A and B are shown apart, each in its own frame.
Chain A
Amino acid sequence: MENDVMITELLNAWEETYKKGQLTFWVFLSLKESNKCVEEIKEFVEKMSEGSMSCEEQSLYRNLRKFLNLGIVAYDSKRVSKGPDRKYYYLTELGKELFQHFVERNIKIFTKESIINLLN
């Protein structure tokens, strides 16, 4: 019982640290799939991470604006029947290259058989 409480507390603390920096990964992954508006990115992140990642739209807007200024993402405006034009974001060439390098250096290692065996 005491161990369970300890594990839960440690797990929460570990996950809190681990998840920092993960939002970018999930956002890029969603944009690699297709051009998306903020609502669709949020939906993708929550669905594909099976609820382990959640994000506020405000936080997504802030991050996308930053990536936009850095030239990592760009957007196309599309007209919608009601309200202002909707922005559909996509990865620029720089963004695609950045994501590819990140995945090769940090994610693909988990696809090695020896690592998969250890995880199982």
Chain B
Amino acid sequence: MKALTIRLGQFAICALVLTVLFRYALNLCIEANNVIGTTTCSIVYGGLIFLVGWYFGTKDAKENEVHDIGFRHHLVTYILCIGIGYGVHYLGWNAESLRAMTITAISWGIGLLVHFIFYLIEQRKTIKGYAKDEIFQ
């Protein structure tokens, strides 16, 4: 299984654009003390990332027969979202507190770790990323 596929790259570009837009909107809402706006931004961002990940993930699974239960997409999203968050924070453009970002990074990181464990379990059913029962048809 190729870990870096074109579909994953396409997803990463979309996720990057969405994350930058999300961070920008989140900043505006936090600065305006708009709780509803902050919540809405997060839900919309999460929903859109999920849909985009689902779209490219299913295409990846079909075209490259990748069986990673979406872990690579999850990891890319985590790196982008948390990375950009800390990046803009240290550049001084982020209104989100360092504490809030760290809590998000840790709690999301735990979720990612659980996903990774399931990914490893799934990998035992595969050979080089191909599901054992689907290699020979």
Interface residues of chain A, those whose CB is within 8 Å of chain B, are 20-21, 23-24, 59, 62-63, 66, 69-70
Contact = CB atoms under 8 A, between A and B. Distances in A.
Contacts of A69: 1-2, 128, 130
Nearest to A59: B137
Q: What does DSSP make chain B's interface, helix, strand, loop or mixed?
A: loop
Contacts of A63: 137
Contacts of A24: 136-137
Interface in B12-35: none
Interface of B: 1-2, 65, 127-128, 130, 135-137
Given A66-B65, A69-B1, A21 B136 contact: yes
Q: What does DSSP make chain A's interface, helix, strand, loop or mixed?
A: helix
Given A24-B136, A24-B137, 13 more contacts: A21-B137, A23-B137, A59-B137, A63-B137, A66-B65, A66-B130, A66-B135, A69-B1, A69-B2, A69-B130, A70-B127, A70-B130, A70-B135
A62 B136 CA distance: 11
8 contacts: A21-B137, A23-B137, A59-B137, A62-B65, A66-B135, A70-B127, A70-B128, A70-B130
Contacts of A62: 65
Task: Report the 5 A-B pairs with minimum CB-CB distance, sorted nearest first.
Answer: A24-B136, A21-B136, A70-B128, A23-B137, A66-B130
Contacts of A21: 136-137
